[in-house]
Amino acid sequence: MRVAIFGASGLLGTALMREWSGDAVVGYSSRDVDIRDAPAVRAIAQETEPEWIVLAAAYTDVDGCENNPDLAFTVNRDGAANVAEAAKKTGAKLLFLSSDYVFDGKKTSPYETNDARHPQSVYGRSKAEAEIKLLELMPESCILRTSWLFGVGGKCFPDTILKLAASRPTLDVVNDQRGCPTYTVDLARAIIRLCRESASGIVHVTNASECTWFELASAIVQQAGLRTTVRPVSSQQMARPAPRPAYSVLSPESLRHLRIEMPTWGDALQRYLRQRNG
């Protein structure tokens, strides 16, 4: 199988390039191609003739999106449409990485794939509009929603906590936002399976179990053997430019339907720490 990965140097893209074997995989970073450049995207698709395109390239700085909405929409929505158009013209299947931020966080039970989109931030709106556009262009594309991504090779929450905990006796972390941490290695392995099994439609992929950011930070500090005290605070006390969903747990039912089981985030965190220290 021939595969083209857009966003190959990002947090997820790095894991995909490392984990994917047995197929002809080519990765493109933002330095290789800007997905806002439709002719350049089309040229790459025509040159490589992939059977699958995995679109992991995005503007993922949530607060940055709030301050730069034009950039957020031109990359996350219009850039995604450019990739979909190129995939359609070359006959490739498309897997698009989306986000829990397409939901408003007002539910108290896990979000299903058919729950209504109601994004509260610019980033969330850009991803929601991308989903709608892609399903219009390529109804058989695979839209993969995930959340709270962490892994080796880029900026992520555990890496930030470990760096701060190394120099601070206390850390304040929000305890009123609940979701599902997702390890890039486990997500990459799920993506590989989804492509090989020609998945389509919307799929939710996260590590199993849920927690708050405070609970995740506490586990990171404990597993790393650090003495830092982690204190729970409210989102209001840690105000950010972009609103975050209070509850964005994604239901695993769509993944179970495809007979894919994900490890728990606690297990994933242990493996992340070993990888980071190795």
pLDDT digits (tens), the chain, 278 positions = 999 999 999 999 999 999 999 999 999 999 999 999 999 999 999 999 999 999 999 999 999 999 999 999 999 999 999 999 999 999 999 999 999 999 999 999 999 999 999 999 999 999 999 999 999 999 999 999 999 999 998 899 999 999 999 999 999 999 999 999 999 999 999 999 999 999 999 999 999 999 999 999 999 999 999 999 999 999 999 889 999 999 999 999 999 999 999 999 999 999 999 999 98
Residue 195: inside a domain? yes
Q: Specify the pLDDT at position 91.
A: 97
CATH number of the domain at 68, please.
3.40.50.720
Q: Specify the pLDDT at position 278.
A: 84
240 half-sphere exposure, CB direction, 13 A CA radius: 15
Residue 237: inside a domain? no
- Count of structural domains within the chain: 1
Residue 37: inside a domain? yes
Residue 236: inside a domain? no
Residue 127: inside a domain? yes
Instruction: Give residue 34's domain range.
Output: 2-151+182-207+249-265
Residue 39: inside a domain? yes
Q: Specify the pLDDT at position 239.
A: 87
190 half-sphere exposure, CB direction, 13 A CA radius: 29
Burial 179-194 (b: 16+ CB within 10 A, else e): bbbbbbbbbbbbbbeb
d(CA 24, CA 10): 19
Say what the pTM is.
Answer: 0.97
Residue 46: inside a domain? yes
d(CA 29, CA 8): 5
Residue 28: inside a domain? yes
Residues serving a catalytic function are 123
